[in-house]
Structure 1
Amino acid sequence: MKAMIIETFGESSIFKLKDVEIAKLLPGQVRVRVKATSVNPIDIKVRTGAVPAVSPSFPAVLHGDVAGIIEEVGEGVKSFQVGDEVYGCAGGFKGLEGALAEYMIADAGVLAHKPLNISMEEAAAIPLVGITAWESLFTKGALKKGDDILIHGGAGGVGHIAIQLAKWAGATVFTTVSSIEKQAIVKELGADYVIPYRESSVKEYVEKYTDGKGFPFVFDTVGGSNLDQSFEAAALNGTVLTIAARSTHDLTPLHSKGLSLHVTFMLLKLLDEAKRFEHGNILRHITAVVEENCLKPVLDKKTFSFEEVGEAHDYLESGKAVGKIILVNKW
């Protein structure tokens, strides 16, 4: 089969088109005819060698998100049959084949049936960011109807899904964005209150929207120094959720406010053979939310072929994308 592979870590130009052998199915696995994938920041980190602990061995096929059609079912698989349309975040990391190929072998437990009311391209945009948002909001945060939540980076990959999931759950959503264009996007997604963070300090918007008390839930999808702002924005005994905590911080605010800090790194379960089925369970919930017309991914206007994966990586790193970047299999 054709595949885009890397044989070393490096710049976006290291991807090569090669013919590789199609591996045999093991029990519990399925073979998926790949229709589309998307680019996530972790894919770039893997390509550059920034996360060796989760990186596959060379030659490597990258990208976790996949949408496609079941071509073959392995022994013991009861949940899928040949011809089923599926999606998931299934590989591209340590010990797992990636999606940048004609076919992808995946553990059946990490996949779910594709929502009927969206395209393959839209489905490919959801898995990694959707699972991350779900785990953060509901598994870690136990967000429920009537809760108030501040979501930092509401127009981002995880953020725009989190807004929709929080609204579906019945929460009131406040979100920060950087531009007028992104203000329009998050309003359309259902955000109740939009905060242009470049025009307002944390103290100012906490005073405006909470009478200085802070938000009971803060979901930080940005990381870095923004995590300190999340601590500042949180209410007494509040919950801070984050997906980016590879940084050093003064934890005094956590102590003085009695805050809880929860970190989500969704790849940990994907790489754990005993727990990865939890991702398939989450995606089944997400499928239902999508089919209720309560969640729809935002896609960037530009799409790429698999052979243009280097350009897609460059585009994500440029910061110019608005919405998820999709790659379509044209082989």
Structure 2
Amino acid sequence: MKINCSVIRFHKTGELDVLALENVTMEDPENDEVLFKVDAFALNRADVLHYQGFHTTVPDFPSRIGSEATGEVVKVGNKVTDFKVGDRVTSIPFNTAKYGVQGEYAVVPQDYLTKAPKNLTVEEACSIWMQYSTAYFALFHIGSVKKGDYVFIPAISSSAGYGCFELARDAGAIAICSTRTSVKKEELKQLGIDHLIVTKEEPVEKRLMEITNGKGVSFVYDPVAGAFCDEYLEALSTGAVVIIYGLLDPNPTLFPLVPLIRKKATMDAYSQFNHVEDIVKLNECKAYILDRVGKGAIKPVVSKVFDFKDYKKAYEYMLSNQQVGKIVVRVNTK
């Protein structure tokens, strides 16, 4: 079965204008692959790094883009055992240049798909895996975060930040979050964020120590890096873990050897993509997240939904940093 459809691709790295909507012919899925019709896909900062050429996934030109989508299975490979035609599925991000889901149809190996949770909308269902799997491995496999721990989550208005907040709170940890300005402060408070630091208006180290009653934070989930690290390193508790998972500050991140030694702390150059390659760990993550989503303990926040033809406007909106939560593009409007 050959399917002609439109997908987003790029033929060279660069800025947003390298992305284009192109007609392609979808091949039948091979072996463990699943072909599905995309209803909606979500945008991530990783997608921007991908088309710019700065992501761990190296583009294979002409390269498709995107890793989170929800849709209906239309055909499966001959070794697929977990899915059948008609199933509603949602995809999990993983490190490969061969696949991309931003388009009318997508192909993904069955290991990186799950059934779409029935208690979520289409837009919500395509918004769970990047934010929750990234936070899951960081919090529980690297950070060993437990009930009562103080967790610092900068850039809380991003879906990744909010996903970490939800999982940390669900596990009984005490989340301290930050945002650059007070523009989103009230909206963030309405999402249940009790401890919020406005970094352009408040001294981060001082506020962290005040909130923790002088104990310091045992885990940091930092997408900013660069010079921002200096604002919280002295507020770490002994044995703390710092996760660097993004580069919102374009300046180099210097390794803070002395502050880390003083606190017996560690700093991890982290990517979710390095963890989902372990299928045992991946299946553990799937079970955990699907359980918590299914029970309503965690639920993604969708900031704004765009039509497929307006996908570049969706990227522009993400780059403007106006959002609180996920940005989604709806492909199938039926």
Calculate the TM-score normalised by the size of structure 2.
Answer: 0.89
Unpaired segments of 5 or more residues in structure 1? none
Any conservation in 2 of the 1:112–1:280 contact (CA below 8 Å)?
Answer: no
Relative to structure 1, the CA distance from residue 286 to residue 185 in structure 2 (aligned partners, 3 Å threshold; closer, same or farther) is farther
Amino acid at match of 2:237: A
1:294 corresponds to which residue?
Answer: 297
1:212-268 deviation per Cα after TM superposition (whole angstroms, max 9, x unaligned): 331122222322222233322211222222213672233210011110223321223
Which of the numbers 176, 182, 196 marks the counterpart of 1:174? Answer: 176
Q: Give 1:277 shift.
A: 6.4
Q: Structure 2: how far apart are the matches of 1:281 and 1:110?
A: 13
1:309-329 deviation per Cα after TM superposition (whole angstroms, max 9, x unaligned): 222222211222232111111
Q: Structure 2: how far apart are the matches of 1:107 and 1:213?
A: 45
Any conservation in 2 of the 1:25–1:74 contact (CA below 8 Å)?
Answer: yes
1:15 corresponds to which residue?
Answer: 19
Any conservation in 1 of the 2:76–2:83 contact (CA below 8 Å)?
Answer: yes
Amino acid at match of 1:327: V
Any conservation in 1 of the 2:28–2:35 contact (CA below 8 Å)?
Answer: no
* Aligned positions of 1:1-12 closer than 5 A: 1-12=5-16
Amino acid at match of 1:221: P
Which of the numbers 268, 278, 287 marks the counterpart of 1:262? Answer: 268
1:162 corresponds to which residue?
Answer: 164
Any conservation in 2 of the 1:304–1:328 contact (CA below 8 Å)?
Answer: yes
Any conservation in 1 of the 2:179–2:197 contact (CA below 8 Å)?
Answer: yes
Q: Give 1:278 shift.
A: 3.9
Amino acid at match of 1:13: D
Paired residue secondary structure (2:41): strand
Paired residue secondary structure (1:21): strand
Q: Structure 2: how far apart are the matches of 1:211 and 1:281?
A: 35
2:307 corresponds to which residue?
Answer: 305
Paired residue secondary structure (1:225): helix
1:86 partnered with 2:89: yes
Further displaced range: 165-174 or 176-185: 176-185
Q: Give 1:119 shift.
A: 0.9
1:72-92 deviation per Cα after TM superposition (whole angstroms, max 9, x unaligned): 22222222222221112346x
Any conservation in 2 of the 1:155–1:185 contact (CA below 8 Å)?
Answer: no
Q: Structure 1: how far apart are the matches of 2:98 and 2:283?
A: 16
Unpaired segments of 5 or more residues in structure 2? none
Q: Structure 1: how far apart are the matches of 2:262 and 2:9?
A: 49
1:130 partnered with 2:136: no
Q: Structure 2: how far apart are the matches of 1:223 and 1:300?
A: 25
Amino acid at match of 1:110: Y
Relative to structure 1, the CA distance from residue 306 to residue 135 in structure 2 (aligned partners, 3 Å threshold; closer, same or farther) is same
Paired residue secondary structure (2:184): helix
Q: Structure 2: how far apart are the matches of 1:212 and 1:2?
A: 55
Any conservation in 2 of the 1:134–1:165 contact (CA below 8 Å)?
Answer: yes
Any conservation in 2 of the 1:112–1:284 contact (CA below 8 Å)?
Answer: no
Any conservation in 1 of the 2:38–2:332 contact (CA below 8 Å)?
Answer: no
1:253 partnered with 2:253: no
Paired residue secondary structure (2:161): helix
Any conservation in 2 of the 1:86–1:111 contact (CA below 8 Å)?
Answer: yes
* Aligned positions of 1:214-233 closer than 5 A: 214-233=216-235
Q: Structure 2: how far apart are the matches of 1:261 and 1:295?
A: 27
* Aligned positions of 1:1-331 closer than 5 A: 1-51=5-55, 54-90=57-93, 94-244=96-246, 247-269=253-275, 272=277, 275=278, 278-279=281-282, 281-301=284-304, 303-330=305-332
Q: Structure 2: how far apart are the matches of 1:119 and 1:199?
A: 37
Amino acid at match of 1:294: A
1:262-317 deviation per Cα after TM superposition (whole angstroms, max 9, x unaligned): 332122345x4xx356445423321221121121212223x222332222222211
RMSD: 2.2
Give percent identity, aligned residues only.
27
Length, aligned pairs only: 325
Q: Structure 1: how far apart are the matches of 2:284 and 2:32?
A: 16
Any conservation in 2 of the 1:160–1:189 contact (CA below 8 Å)?
Answer: no
Q: Give 1:117 shift.
A: 1.0
Any conservation in 2 of the 1:163–1:189 contact (CA below 8 Å)?
Answer: no
Calculate the TM-score normalised by the size of structure 1.
Answer: 0.89
